[in-house]
Structures are given as C-alpha cells and as structure tokens.
Amino acid sequence: MSASPLQATFEKKYDEFIADLRVVFPEIELELACASALRAPEHIHRYYTEVYKKHAVKSSDMPCPGIVLPGVQIEPSMWATVSNKSKESVYEYLSILDLCSAYEKGDTSIGEDPSFKRWADTILKDWRSKLDRMDFNSLAEKFKDMFGSDGALPALPEKFLKGKLAKLAEDLVKEFKPEDFGLRPEDLEQVEKDPTRAFEILMQASTSRPDILQTAMTRVGKKLQDKIQKGHLKPEELAAEAEELMHEFQSHPAFAEMMKAFKSAFSFEDPDFARAAGREEKSRLAIVKNRLRAKLEAKKAAGKKK
C-alpha cells in the first residue's frame, strides 16, 4: 500500500533532518546512523511515541529541544555552540514532523486547541516556500479537515510569484502598520521572501480593515501614476494577471474576489483608483464598456430562453 501524502512528506523531511543534523552536530553521528537505519514504517511510529510532545517547545529564547529523533538527543552544551539560524532550522523540522506524525497517528484532537491552530497557521506561512506544491497542498487540506476552515491560500504558480501583481501586493502591504492587523513587524518583512504571504495579508485587510486597504491603494496609485506615464508599467498587464489568477483559483472565493477587485482597478473601472493614477478618462471608458457588455450578455441570455 502506498504512503499517504503526509506520510511521504514526513519521510522526506525525516531524511533531510538527519542529513542536516550530521553537518551541524557531527558528534552524534552514531545516533543519527541508528535513526536512519530504522525501517521506514518505524520512522513515523517511533517519532510519534518517543519525540512528539517530548521535545522542548520553541520560544523566543530558543531552548535546547532535547530529543529530536528516535534515539537522538541534543545536549545543552552542543546546542549552545550553534547559530540561531541552525536552531531555527531544527525547530522548523520538528514542527513539520510533529504535525505529520500527529495527524497520521489519528491525533486529530490537536485541531480543537486554539493555540495549536495559531501554531499550525505559522507552520503554513513559514513552510509554504520550503515545501513543494504537493506537500503544501496536503498540509493545507489537513488543516481544513481539522479546523473546518477554507484552508490556507494555495501556493501560487512561479510565474505569478515573480510577476508585477506580486510586486504590487508587496508594495501595498508595506503601506500598512503591523499593529493595524495584529501582525508582527517580521510578518510584513516575510512578504519579500514569500509573495503569497502578501496576498494573505491583503485578504485579511479587505475583510477586517477595508478603509486601510483603500488608503493604501490610493497611495500606491499615486506612485504608479509616474510609472504608467513613463511607460514602465502597463495597467492592462496587471489586469490580465489578476484575471488569470481569478479564474485559476475559483476554488478559493476570497482570493478570487480580491483578484476581481485588482482586475477592476487596473481596468480603471474603479473611479477613485483611476483618479489616483491620473487615468480618469480610462475609468469612464471602462464603465461604458462594462455597461455595453452587460447589455449584450442580457440579450444573449434572453435569446437562449426563447
């Protein structure tokens, strides 16, 4: 019987964790070799029974985690010699292995804990750019099962992560104050590494503080005016990107709705945005085009009923 997607993710991260630990902590090579030599079916079972909820919990002072894999212990004296980056990496591996093993062993009660939900959300935000699309989608789907939510925003295709719309989302988020949305400064900094996070923050803004989002759009609109006039930016390209994303992610209504708003803005259907970008004449033209399109569609629909 083939492994489930989450079990496959566990096995991959288990092996990667061992490889990285060998580099950072060569003094525990023997223990790592033993953990590696275990039969694959034992990995997730022994991790769940021997490591899950047995290692220290990550906090701001980065405590020594202690046991990190079956039979593998990191001593405080060893922990004190490594960089914060290495410590972060250890806890990142533990978070993924914890989640995968807990769910695969049927411990779905973790979904009832509000603190776990916050922790799980953090995992998705931190690991989206580090997991491949299949792994990420599998985790997001499990979170949906646990919390009864719509899940996290799907991983965006590479062409959009490097596109003009992703850069715009990043610029918009930079106009926000973290405290307006209960965010930490590092949450906003993360958008430079993970553009998908910028779209998540924008979705949060559109539902909780639309006034702030509108202000940010106006500010960015004024900045875009110069780029548009100089020909460095073509609004129709942004509108086309938004329309493509809108159709591709129809299964995520909140994201599709936001893309619809972007398409409307860069087609200059939004008078306020058009005014901020210095393109009021485009707004009037777009409104007329939409009116004519609506009439044409109404005629077609009436014709089909006959």
Summarised one tens digit per residue, pLDDT across range 206-261 is 666 777 777 777 777 777 777 777 777 777 788 888 888 888 877 777 778 878 87
Which of 125, 147, 169 terminates a domain? The answer is: 147
Note whether residue 306 is domain-resident: no
Which of 115, 147, 179 is the last residue before a domain boundary? 147
Query: What tokens appear for 194 in the block?
Result: 């993970």
pTM of the model: 0.51
Residue 265 lies in a domain: yes
CB 157 within 8 Å of CB 137: no
Task: Report the distance separating Cα 187 and Cα 126, nearest Å.
Answer: 10
- pLDDT exceeds 70 at position 35: yes
Looking at the domain assignment, is residue 304 inside a domain?
no
Domain that holds residue 212: 158-297
Residue 138, pLDDT above cutoff 70 = no
Q: Is residue 303 part of a domain?
A: no
- Tell me how far apart the alpha carbons of residues 9 and 131 are, in angstroms, rounded to a whole number: 9
Task: Compare 176 and 86 and report the one with higher pLDDT.
Answer: 86
The domain boundary residue, chosen from 105, 121, 147: 147
Length of the chain: 306
Q: Residues 73-85: pLDDT tens digits? A: 999 999 999 999 8
Is residue 50 pLDDT above 50, yes or no? yes
Q: Give the Cα-Cα-Cα angle 120, 122, 127 (nearest 5 degrees).
A: 100
Query: If you average pLDDT over each of 1-15, 46-60, 183-197, 270-284, which comes out highest?
Result: 46-60
Same domain assignment for residues 179 and 271? yes
Record the tokens describing residue 172, joined without a space.
Answer: 């918009």
Judgement on whether residues 222 and 261 belong to the same structural domain of the protein: yes
Total domain count for the chain?
A: 2
Instruction: Give yes or no: residues 248 and 278 share one domain.
Output: yes
Domain shared by 51 and 167, yes or no: no
- Of 305 and 30, the structure prediction assigns the larger pLDDT to 30
Instruction: Give a yes or no: residue 239 inside a domain.
Output: yes
Based on DSSP, count helices (H) and strands (E) in the chain, helices before strands. 16, 2
The whole-number pLDDT of residue 284 equals: 45
The CA distance from 151 to 1, in Å, is 28
Same domain, 194 and 277: yes
Half-sphere exposure in the Cβ direction for 9 (13 Å, CA): 27
Residue 152 lies inside a defined structural domain of this protein: no
Residue 305 inside a domain? The answer is: no
- Bridging pattern class, strands 72-73 and 67-69: antiparallel
User: Is residue 117 classed exposed, middle or buried when 0-12, 13-18 and 19+ CB atoms within 10 A define those classes?
Assistant: middle
- Residue 230 shares a structural domain with residue 139: no
As given in the structure block, the two tokens for residue 277 are: 């970008």
CB 144 within 8 A of CB 151: yes
